[in-house]
Amino acid sequence: MLRIHIYLVHISGITMDISTTLCGPCSERHITKPSTHWCLECEEAVCDDCQEHHKVLKATRGHEIIPIDKYKSLPSFITDIQQSCTYHNEKYQQYCVAHALPICFKCIKEHQKCNVIPLDEITNNAKTSGQLQDLETRLMDLLHNIDRIKMDRKVNLVSIEERKELHLVEIQQTRNQIKKRLNKLEKEIIQDLEKKECQCKKNIQTILSSVKEKENLITEYQTNLQSIKQHASDLQTFLVMRDIEIKVLENEQYLQYLVETGKFEPVDLICKVDPGVLSISNSVMNFGSIEIKTTSSNIRLIRAKDKQAQLQVTTKTINDLKLILQKKISTNGKITRGCCMSGNGEYFFTDHSSRKILYVIASDGTFKYNMLLGPSYGFDITFIDENTIAITSGRSNEHIGIDIIDTERRKKIKFINLPDSPYGITCDHDSLFVCVERRGIYQINTADHITSHVIRCNLPGGSFVSVFANKIYYTNWRDHSVVCCDHDGSRVWSFEDTSVLTIPGGITIDNDGNVFVVGQSSSNVAIISNDGKLHREILTDKDGLREPSAIFFDTQTKKLLVANKKETAILYSVT
């Protein structure tokens, strides 16, 4: 059975190949001619002669014919699609909407209760239909998303390798520090051991010297006594014995004194190792631990429908938008130019004065820490990911570009040079967009830092930028304008009304595409609809604004942060 099955499949393959290689009408007449074209309606291969007949016959002159090579290049899942009913061997003419199936006229009996329409109504213009265009767009979006995911994962692989090398250095440094400390402690205790040894030896040698002197003296008395016994008279012996007896008593008393004062007690050297040192080998079970930490992904999938939905903002949303005061925050800034919020609710402010400082305020409004930014003056700020921020240098003459800072380690990790002074900056997915004085707006890839010039215009220093749904928005204080452009630099709309907004500064976009802009001279915040046709003044000096310079909208919490030029910022909830 297995052999027969394989044979049939093989024969079937040959038959299919023959049906596309040889002309079908000629084969019916037992004529072997190679095919050159394929009729999509007849589902049959034809030669050049039969193609000419196809074009002139009334029944087939409307059929679509393509070169046979083009047909063979189609994937098998397309060529395998039957265009005739497999049950009745008739062409499909109708379409059952309920079952989403093409049917022939004989099949209609089985679909009497269904919504049946002519097949032409749904197949006409299929190749130019919006559905096909939508499929093409979705396929392009999928490929774009996959490319971004691949790039993101490759960047993650590189960061893991870099982090591993960093940790290896940290481990080695820790080991060297411990070794250095132990070497120092070892040297100290050896020095102490040698000192104590010398002290003990010195004490013993002192006693030995003293006892040796006594020994020599007693030996001399002993010799003298023997001589007296042999040669002295009795009187001489009697008188000398008293003197010797006194000397003997003195020496006996001296030896007794040495005994009683513990001079003969054995001396030993005992080494007691500090418990802290012993714990290194006994209680310390691990050098440390390695953990795998995950953070929120920056990948946001792009879909054409989402882009359209983001742009479908009604005037009601703009008119009904309300701000609820949450808190006032002390920024400590002398000339605040940039502000933003972290995922855990911390507030970041740049002081573009001679201080050149980044201030970080805790979520409860208390001061957390500051960081010197010099030689950069530190103008605008944006988050790249959970622990990384980018800060533009502003009017600095010797440090022109962007500092990338690790907020966890509070350390600069990268500097990106730019051709002129950068001011406003924002991050959109895997790209930074930055206003460069006199040149326009640049786009910088956050993975490889490749820079491209996306909008060419004469921007003054102090311009700000924001990005939403493939649109770039920027402010120009010189002509009091807010401009919306495509990524290719084509202007979509611009807003200029000095009765509403003068010296526009910081700019930010909410989830619905509404544009918030601060007016530094007008001391207010205005909101502009995404099409630039509607606007409202939503905050004024009556709300505590004093030359506001920076603004930030948190899309996750829907909080709006507005920073005054000096000392204070105000947080609102947007509803």
Read off the pLDDT of residues 91-100 as tens digits, 9 standing for 90 and up. 888 888 888 8
What confidence score (pLDDT) does residue 442 get? 94
Q: What single DSSP character describes residue 459?
A: P
Q: What are the DSSP E strand ranges found in 469-556?
A: 471-476, 481-486, 491-496, 504-509, 515-519, 524-528, 535-539, 548-554
What confidence score (pLDDT) does residue 562 get? 95
Asked if residue 375 has a cis previous peptide bond (ω within 30° of 0), the answer is: yes
Question: Is 70 exceeded by the pLDDT of residue 12?
Answer: no
Those residues whose C-beta lies under 8 Å from the C-beta of residue 181, and which sit 6 or more positions away, are none
Lowest mean pLDDT among 134-148, 165-179, 218-232, 301-315: 301-315
Give tens-digit pLDDT for 420-447.
Answer: 999 999 998 889 999 999 999 999 998 8
Mean pLDDT of 205-209: 88
Question: Is 90 exceeded by the pLDDT of residue 305?
Answer: no
Sheet with 481-486: list strands edge to edge.
465-468, 471-476, 481-486, 491-496
Mean pLDDT of 233-249: 84
Q: What structural domains and CATH numbers belong to the chain?
A: 24-125 (3.30.160.60), 135-263 (no CATH), 329-574 (2.120.10.30)
Question: Is 50 exceeded by the pLDDT of residue 315?
Answer: no
Question: Is 80 exceeded by the pLDDT of residue 303?
Answer: no
What confidence score (pLDDT) does residue 423 get? 95
**162 or 130, which is more confident:** 162
Those residues whose C-beta lies under 8 Å from the C-beta of residue 389, and which sit 6 or more positions away, are 340, 348, 381, 382, 383, 404, 405, 407
Quick one: pLDDT band at residue 3, thresholds 50, 70, 90?
Answer: very low
Quick one: pLDDT band at residue 6, thresholds 50, 70, 90?
Answer: very low
Question: Is 70 exceeded by the pLDDT of residue 504?
Answer: yes
What confidence score (pLDDT) does residue 347 get? 94
Q: What single DSSP character describes residue 111?
A: G
Quick one: pLDDT band at residue 7, thresholds 50, 70, 90?
Answer: very low
Block residue for tokens 């808190």: 327
What confidence score (pLDDT) does residue 333 get? 87
Lowest mean pLDDT among 6-10, 260-264, 570-574: 6-10
Distance CA 195, CA 186 (A): 14
Distance CA 429, CA 382 (A): 12
Backbone angles phi, psi at 134, to 5 degrees: -65, -40
- Beta pairing partners, 571: 327, 561
Mean pLDDT of 365-379: 90
| 572, 562 contact by CB (below 8 A) | yes
Distance CA 494, CA 517 (A): 13
| 530, 512 contact by CB (below 8 A) | yes
Give tens-digit pLDDT for 56-103.
Answer: 888 888 888 889 888 888 887 676 677 788 788 888 888 888 888 888
Closest Cα to residue 473, out of 482, 463, 460?
Answer: 482
First to last CA, the chain: 73
| 314, 320 contact by CB (below 8 A) | no
| 536, 529 contact by CB (below 8 A) | no
Distance CA 178, CA 174 (A): 6
What confidence score (pLDDT) does residue 313 get? 39
* Range picked from 219-223, 295-299, 305-309, 490-494 for highest mean pLDDT: 490-494
pLDDT averaged over every residue in the chain: 84
Q: What single DSSP character describes residue 523?
A: T
Question: Is 90 exceeded by the pLDDT of residue 475?
Answer: yes
How many residues would you count in the chain?
575
- What's the farthest any 2 CA atoms get from each other in the chain? 177
Question: Is 90 exceeded by the pLDDT of residue 232?
Answer: no
Q: What DSSP line would sit under 343-390, residue for residue?
A: TTS-EEEEE-STT-EEEEE-TTS-EEEEEE-TTS----EEEEETTEEE
Block residue for tokens 């807010």: 482
Question: Is 70 exceeded by the pLDDT of residue 309?
Answer: no
Those residues whose C-beta lies under 8 Å from the C-beta of residue 64, and which sit 6 or more positions away, are 39, 40, 41
Amino acid 374 reads: G
Mean pLDDT of 327-336: 90
Q: What angle do CA 367, 372, 378 make, to 5 degrees?
A: 100
% of residues, the chain, pLDDT over 90? 28
**292 or 335, which is more confident:** 335
% of residues, the chain, pLDDT over 70? 89
Q: Which tokens is 28 given?
A: 């019916």
| 300, 237 contact by CB (below 8 A) | no
Calculate the CA 553 to chain-centre distance.
20
What confidence score (pLDDT) does residue 310 get? 47
Distance CA 356, CA 337 (A): 11
